[in-house]
Amino acid sequence: MPQTITEKILAAHAGRETVAPGELINVRIDMALANDITAPIAIDLFEKSRVESVFDPEKIALVPDHFVPNKDIRSAVQVQAMRTFARKYHIKHFFELGEMGIEHVLLPEKGLVLPGDVVIGADSHTCTYGALGSFATGVGSTDIAAAMITGEAWFRVPESIKFIYHGRLGKWVSGKDLILYTIGDIGVDGATYRAMEFTGDVIKDLTMAGRMTMANMAIEAGAKSGIIAPDEVTLDYIKPRAKRSFESYASDPDAAYADVRTYDVSNIEPQVAFPFLPENTRGISAVGTVPIDQAVIGSCTNGRIEDLRVAASVLKDRAIDKNVRLIIVPATPAVYRQAMAEGLLEIFLAAKGIVSPPTCGPCLGGFMGVLGPGERAVSTTNRNFVGRMGHTTSEVYLANPAVAAASAILGRIGSPEEL
Amino acid sequence: MTLEGRVWKFGDNIDTDVIIPAPYLVTTDMVELGKHCMEGVDALFAEKVSPGDIIVAGTNFGCGSSREHAPMALKGAGISCVIAEGFARIFFRNAFNMGLAIFESPGIVQGIQEGDQVSVDQDTGEIIDHTNGKRFLANPIPPFMQELIEVGGLMSHVMSKRRT
Ligand code: SF4
């Protein structure tokens, strides 16, 4: 039976030859992830179960990134619970401040998630790792508690939708724009319960950063996972990082899909998603005049070194508008140091932006740049729901790093072409 | 078992950020989370809601983050069940794992008004609007998930398997 890459990975982890969409299966997992919001619930449940050890202390990652550096006493208590748990059960991959970064940038960077893996995370953007050719999906804390005991998780095998991207991307058009454009096309529930498989010559030419941005936002179309089959670009990224063996899978040419969508992307512009849903997308030329109070460049979507380089190329020798606050968040310590070595931090500071330590912070309205009533932000993050970055009357416009940087300079949402 | 209560109606794409805004995720206490339930759409919701009340919503209910605090906040606020045209997948999964009753019933938004008195038979999936007399049927729950509910959620399921 011909199979998709997703079906092959799930079958291999269920100890089966093949699996079919709709089947409920139990799979072995290669990594279980939780953060400072979701881990405390999982830890509580684990402790209540009175099981004496976790299934494998090397296959659990605990990343305190959402409200860290601790924004208040209660968030400190949540991280304490993680730290105590990590020590007690010898969890190898607990990341203390200084090594901590945004989970979905950190785990691939550290080689903790590899092609062919099954990864579950108590965070919806766990789907990011599909960019490496793994099956990765967001679950709840209870699933993580159960997985820490059994090393397994249950799934309904998803149907897949194949997305084929042809053409050549314009100068300021990136993975972020491809995924926003796609969500604009299919809607925020356009792929619910399904796997989004990204293919085509445009994907082949994308960097790992661009691919991770795309897989990251599969959840924003309701998908269970996003996936890109490993190629040389993937292996170049993985090989220096992997400390265990892995397997690359690819879909059979005659595999069955619930839908196949083909896009010619040569003419798409940088995309902006208007409040309050990621599907409210427009090309940058159709945005009109939208003044902004804040620009945020960072997050698990666009906080990688490639993103900071693009932002710096726009901000170099320029200053931001005096009515705008610019917050740049390198996603991990490694990204931060690389940005420092390349002189990018100097460019950001000279432009009158600020550089935050690695954290989720502003992305979910936690701290480090919360919006007040009626304020507007352009942001490279992935969600623009009501109140996502602060007050319920504030507004978030999603865009790529080049547009966010240009908008900070212009004082309104705009393109680098306008500078 | 039958659940019965007054209906609060919401639209499509009710996301977890409005069900329980991120600033309140610094606790895992259900009652405390319940005090801020639905604050993103209706700041006074937690004050107005009574134990047993039912939420009726459109498509893609619970989209967004994987926070289990969302079903917890709904339970903490006293909501007995959520009936929607459709659910986002992580929320769907979390609700079963946590033991919040949810029912998928296409067409429900048209047929039920806010404030109506509604009952749901958990075994048959029959939904009755006692205010206008209309009846609806919820989509059947997959057998494995039925099993999860019967044993009291995923953790009980895991532990019972370990003991056998
Ligand atoms: S950066 Fe934002 S979207 Fe990504 S994990 Fe953190 S809070 Fe979630």
Domain boundaries, chain B: 2-163
Can you point out the beta strands (E) in A52-206? 60-63, 93-94, 118-121, 135-138, 152-156, 160-166, 195-199
Last residue within a domain, chosen from A262, A285, A306: A262
Scan residues 373-412 of A and list those with Cβ closer than 8 Å to B.
Answer: 383, 385-388, 392
Residues near A7 by beta carbon (within 8 Å), at least 6 away in sequence: A18, A19, A20, A21, A157, A160, A255
How many domains is chain A built from?
A: 2
Q: Is A244 exposed, middle or buried (0-12, 13-18, 19+ CB in 10 A)?
A: exposed
| Tokens (6 digits) for A164 | 């084929």
Q: Is A111 on the interface with B (CB under 8 A)?
A: no
Q: List, in order, residues 6 or more apart from B143 with CB less than 8 Å away.
A: none
Residue A96: which pLDDT band, with cuts at 50, 70 and 90?
Answer: very high
Cα–Cα distance measured from residue A173 to residue B56, given in angstroms and rounded to the nearest whole number: 40
- Same-domain check for residues A204 and A326: no
Q: How confident is the model over A124-159, as pLDDT tens digits?
A: 999 999 999 999 999 999 999 999 999 999 999 999
Could you give phi then psi for residue A227, rounded to 5 degrees?
-150, 145
Fill in the amino acid letter for A43. I
Signed CA dihedral, A171, A175, A177, A178: sign only? positive
Ligand 1 centre distance from Cα of residue A336 (Å): 17
By DSSP bridging, strand B2-9 and strand A259-264 are: unpaired
Q: Do A149 and B162 touch (CB under 8 A)?
A: yes
Q: Are residues A281 and A411 in the same domain?
A: yes
Residue A39: CA count within 13 A, CB half-sphere: 28
- In B, minimum Cα distance to A146 occurs at B155
CA-to-CA distance for A240 and A166, rounded, in angstroms?
A: 30
Residues A234 and A362 in one domain: no
Shortest Cα distance from A418 to chain B (angstroms)?
34
Q: Quick one: which of A148, A169, A153, A385 has its CA closest to A277?
A: A385
- CATH number of the domain that A332 lies in? 3.30.499.10
DSSP assignment letter at A50: T
DSSP-derived letter for residue A120 is: E
Is residue A392 helix, strand or coil? coil
- Protein residue closest via CA to atom 4 of ligand 1: A300
B52 has a pLDDT exceeding 70: yes
Class of domain B2-163: alpha beta
Query: Which of B79, B70, B63 lies closest to B6, judged by CA?
Result: B79
The pair of three-digit structure tokens given for residue B140, joined into one six-digit string: 């059947």
Residue B119: C-alpha distances to residues A325, B77, B105, B123, B152 (Å): 51, 18, 14, 12, 22
pLDDT in tens, B102-161: 999 999 999 999 999 999 998 899 999 999 999 999 998 877 887 887 787 899 889 888
For residues A281 and A270, give the distance between their C-alpha atoms in angstroms, rounded to a whole number: 10
pLDDT band at A107 (very low <50, low <70, confident <90, very high): very high
Distances (CA, A) of B114 to A40, B2, B3, B80: 36, 20, 17, 16
ipTM, two decimals = 0.92
How many whole angstroms separate alpha carbon A402 and alpha carbon A307? 8
The pTM of this model reads 0.96
Nearest to A402 by CA among A290, A293, A316, A317: A316
CB A258 within 8 A of CB A194: yes
Bridge-based pairing state of the strands A259-264 and A376-379: unpaired
Of A237, A262, A287, which one is at a domain's C-terminal end? A262
Q: What is the pLDDT of residue A300?
A: 98
- B144 touching chain A per CB within 8 A: yes
pLDDT at A248 over 70: yes
| SS3 category, A129 | helix
| Min Cα separation A337/chain B (Å) | 29
- Statement to judge: residues A280 and A165 lie in one domain: no
The average pLDDT across B3-20 equals: 96
**What pLDDT score was predicted for residue A55?**
98
Q: Does A75 touch chain B (CB under 8 A)?
A: yes
pLDDT digits (tens, 9 = 90+) for A26-43: 999 999 999 999 999 999
Q: Are A379 and A359 in contact (CB under 8 A)?
A: no
Q: Are residues A142 and A290 in the same domain?
A: no
Domain residues for the domain of A385 are 271-418
Residues of A in contact with B39 (CB under 8 A): 392
Q: What token pair was written down for A271?
A: 């995309």
Interchain pair A386, B40: CB under 8 A:
yes
State how far the Cα of A281 lies from the Cα of A303, in Å rounded to an integer: 21
Beta strands in A317-390, from DSSP E residues, in sequence order: 325-328, 354-355, 376-379
Give buried/exposed letters for B42-59 (b at 16+ CB in 10 A, else e): beebbeebeeebbbbbbb
Are the Cβ atoms of B68 and A140 closer than 8 angstroms? yes
A33, A63, A66, best to mutate for ligand 1 pocket (most atoms within 8 Å of CB): A66
| Model confidence pLDDT, tens digit, residues A274-291 | 999 999 999 999 999 999
CA distance A214 to A227: 9
Please report the pLDDT score of residue A242 as a whole number: 98
Q: pLDDT value at position B164? A: 62
- Chain B hits for A383, CB-CB cut-off 8 Å, are 15, 17, 64
Residues with CB under 6 A from ligand 1: A 66, 102-104, 123, 125, 299-300, 360, 363-364, 381-382
Residue in B17, B68, B94 nearest the CB of A385 = B17
Residues A312 and A251 in one domain: no
d(CA B39, CA A355): 31
Task: State the smallest CA–CA distance between residue A294 and chain B in angstroms.
Answer: 19
Residues A15 and A147 in one domain: yes
Are residues A221 and A151 part of one domain?
Answer: yes
Boundary of a domain, candidates A215, A242, A262: A262
How remote is the CA of residue A363 from the centroid of ligand 1, in Å? 6
